[in-house]
Structure 1
Amino acid sequence: MRAAEAALMAGLPEGALMQRAAAGLAGACAGLLGRVYGARVVLLVGGGANGGDALYAGARLARRGAGVSAVPLGARIHQGGLDALVRAGGRVADDPFAVLARADLVLDGITGIGGRGGLRPDAVPVVRASRASGAVVVAVDLPSGVDADTGAVDGEAVRADATVTFGAYKPGLLVDPAREYAGAVRLVDIGLGDLLPTPELEALQHADVARLLPVPAAESDKYRRGVVGVVAGSARYPGAAVLAVAGALRGGAGAVRYVGPAGDAVLARYPETLVHPGPPGRAGRVQAWVIGPGLADTPGVEDVLASDVPVLVDADGLRPLDPAAVRARPAPTVLTPHAGEAAALLGTAREDVEARRLEAVRELAGRYGATVLLKGSTTLVADPDPDVPVRVNPTGTPWLATAGSGDVLSGLTGSLLAAGLAPRDAASTAAYLHGLAARRAARGAPLTAHEVAEALPGAWRDAAGAPRAGLDGGPAGTEGGAGRRPPGS
């Protein structure tokens, strides 16, 4: 972002880029306030460009009749922005806590994309007072105290109701735990265009998913559409097999071949399934395998890994996984761990994975030479090639944290693999549909994994109905678009 902004500023009058950002910021704040005249606005101002953005935006609001007070938090503040604020009728607060107690809106311009390690101690009581005031808190570019590059939050940080970001989405706005601090995110176009490099992170939208979904041709039969094999379930966990098959049946493949001890349970629910007792190598030809959900101690992992088709490994299948064996496979592998399973694979603590999800998914993909879908509050999909952007899933609901939902996701992803999608596309498309289906099924209430599977056809139709155009709009929970580029940075 710094490089792109510097290149753009070289061809613009001095201060023009900051004025663009301030105009978009002031417009967003005016929309949140509803009525600007008479509103009380407090600017928390650090020493960097974010502080300047806040001051210039405050000056615009002051000219529209808002009472604007600046609270300096740092040894220096942007002088041009401060002068503009004072000329417009704003002021520097004598008592920050007094103005915060009466504020309608607080602008967080303390730190920007270079901030590391949480808020400085002198800023903490002011930020706490802003939250206690009941005012709407708007972060400038990203909440102060979060890591823009990784989404980590090391120490105290601003919890914003909304974030107005400039030029491109920052990873920290899309990846937990920082995402939870950002609130609703709005992107302001400041004209960076083709100056932006290949993004580190991207999020699919409906139009992207519509392009990727498999569509049968007139001459297609069930075998041409692909057969997915599912090795799941056990005497202890027969339901995992049923749920994995449920996801697979709704994922675009022409047939589902189940292998394992839960055949009776699978057939009772889904009689269209092709059932074989095993081992997988004798079950018949498939175009992709799914192995692991509810597997317990049932064998089959080595047999499946020895195949020459794409393989998805989940849950119990991840426990005996050897990185060398995965890397040596002639066909792609997709791993779908949650944070605890990822921690076991990496030899670290679950808390470390949850605090640095982006780093963890990249490390796993590199270590195993596999596409990795890291499940959780932020679902990430990483390619084994470190130069390929990580995908963050923009759909879902907290109600999706329910037993068996991961089994449905595994079956769905495996079916998309069998239908011919590349591993990264299959994993990110499945996560998108899975999250969309959960939203449809939940509607603000608890749901079961089976209900998620039942809602998948509706989610598929929603996404498939989108225009098959280029990337459009921002991630769910955001406003604005990213031009022709994938949203990201």
Structure 2
Amino acid sequence: MRRAHSVEQVRAAEKALMAALPEGALMQRAAAGLAYAVIGHLGGAYGKRVVLLVGSGDNGGDALYAGALLARRGALVEAWLLSDRAHAGGLAAMKTAGGRVVKLSEGYRSLSVSQPSVVVDGIVGIGGKPGLRPDAEAALEMLSGVPVVAVDTPSGVCVDTGEVDGAHVTADLTVTFGTYKPCHLLDPAASSCGKVKLVDIGLDLPTPTIESLEAADVAALVPRPAPDGHKYTRGVVGLRVGSATYPGAALLAVAGANTGLAGMVRYVGTASEWVKRQHPEVVGDGQAQAWVVGSGSADGANSALAFARASGVPLVIDADSLRPLTGPLGVPAILTPHAGELAALLRQDRADIEARPLHYARLAAQRFDAVVLLKGRRTTIAAPDPDTPVRVNTTGTSWLATAGSGDVLGGLIGSLLATGLAPIDAASAGAWLHGAAATLASAGGPVTASGVAAAIPAVIRSLPAV
């Protein structure tokens, strides 16, 4: 599990640890981790030219102490000071090791000597406001095209929300300390972090605000048949999806549900004959432990939702069946909108939803008293309880942006829900498996929704033993 903690949580943990360590020891730990990450990124230090962009905070101090270590390893280190104040100890250590200070106005002349190998972004710490000052923007412009390693987080992004407002650093590598921060997992900021490397500095941390499942977590959640189990004890999932206009949505949703996770799949709808031909093991109407509604349902979406809601069992609500929602449903539910659907549901602008996915996923989860899975490059999954960590899915490939993939996801989540998983676990495990299946089926190239569904069993078989 990747766990991300808020700025307030991190600062409290750092304060507690610093009280037990010699002065400056925590910064030295962070700086050493940063320096070795830079060395790994460059494939060595000797003869490399390193430019440190140094602000007035502790991230600037981390960068300076790391610069001292790099200089001792033979790197040519320059510190471009972006403030009248810089960490005194770090600055002295860097100069003693042979690094030099370059005024920003001298940057042009410095660059004429040789192109830097890497820029270390120590401009703003985790408590900084979104956006950058003009001098920082100017420095980054001078260094355009040079690989960037960010200290803790890319300067200029909102650390706790993952939002981006104004100029910010786009890093190739972000080296973070003690724990992940929300911006490492949440879009849009996550797309500016590059690869994220976590350096353990010994923090004792509370329950995180954001989580991201990994393969071992999913393996622990995926239901395994009991030795004496049968099709009913393994869970029955029902689907009321598709329509005469969109029969393919029914086939894809059923394909997502019919992966062997649940003991039985039921289908009710206009595509019954198509479903029987492609999935002969799928049966008709009857009792189910969970229902999936809405995918491609068109004019039948409202009636499908009303029927499933009256059954009193947990629901997965997608696409057309999202439209009639006005408040809590009275049963456990998972809503699976993309940004446009959530914008319509909340009467907000789609661009704002995409800019603030954490905010709007949480808002919708509380308004509808349901788990909300907001689809995107980094799918965001929020529970109605504000104390439950939000989960962010990091599996998948850009090839997954293809018609019908959401239908497969809805069916897959429904099958997990029918096995008895809690809604937050069914949604997050389903999103992880769906993304991993897309990556497997894609193999670096195009993939179809049908291909994603077909790859799900192989992904489950590849999960680590529990």
> TM-score higher than 0.5 here?
yes
Between 309-318 and 260-269, report the one with greater CA deviation: 260-269
Unaligned stretches of 5+ in structure 2? 1-9
Q: Does 1:151 align with 2:153?
A: no
Task: Name which of 70, 84, 88 aligns with 1:75.
Answer: 84
Distance 1:2 1:201, change over 3 A: same
Aligned to 1:263: 272
Aligned to 1:209: 218
Task: Name which of 91, 108, 111 aligns with 1:97.
Answer: 108
Aligned to 1:119: 132
Q: Per the alignment, in what secondary structure is the counterpart of residue 119 of structure 2?
A: strand
State the TM-score, normalized to the length of structure 2. 0.95
Aligned to 1:302: 306
Q: Distance in 1 between matches of 2:437 and 2:385?
A: 30
1:252-331 equivalences under 5 Å are: 252-275=261-284, 283-298=285-300, 299-324=303-328, 326=329, 329=330, 331=331
Aligned to 2:335: 335
Q: Does 1:359 align with 2:359?
A: yes
Q: Distance in 2 between matches of 1:64 and 1:224?
A: 62
Identical columns (%): 60
Q: Per the alignment, in what secondary structure is the counterpart of residue 306 of structure 1?
A: helix
Q: CA RMSD in A?
A: 1.1
Between 353-362 and 406-415, report the one with greater CA deviation: 353-362
Q: Per the alignment, in what secondary structure is the counterpart of residue 300 of structure 1?
A: helix
User: What code does the residue aligned with 1:289 have?
Assistant: W
Task: Name which of 130, 137, 148 aligns with 2:148.
Answer: 137
Q: Per the alignment, in what secondary structure is the counterpart of residue 323 of structure 1?
A: coil
User: What code does the residue aligned with 1:292 have?
Assistant: G
1:434-445 equivalences under 5 Å are: 434-445=434-445
Q: Distance in 1 between matches of 2:110 and 2:427?
A: 49
Q: Distance in 1 between matches of 2:254 and 2:175?
A: 42
Deviations 1:429-469 (A, max 9, x none): 10010000000011111110000001101111112xx143x
Unaligned stretches of 5+ in structure 1? 276-282, 469-489
Aligned to 1:169: 180
Between 219-228 and 229-238, report the one with greater CA deviation: 219-228
8 A Cα contact 2:289 2:313, kept in partner = yes
Q: Distance in 2 between matches of 1:268 and 1:173?
A: 45
Q: Following TM superposition, by how much is the alpha carbon of 1:131 offset from its aligned partner in structure 2, in angstroms?
A: 2.7
Q: Following TM superposition, by how much is the alpha carbon of 1:251 offset from its aligned partner in structure 2, in angstroms?
A: 5.4
8 A Cα contact 2:178 2:202, kept in partner = yes
8 A Cα contact 2:107 2:142, kept in partner = no
Q: Distance in 2 between matches of 1:313 and 1:447?
A: 25
Aligned to 2:4: none
Count of residues paired in the alignment:
451
8 A Cα contact 1:251 1:411, kept in partner = no
Q: Distance in 1 between matches of 2:61 and 2:292?
A: 53
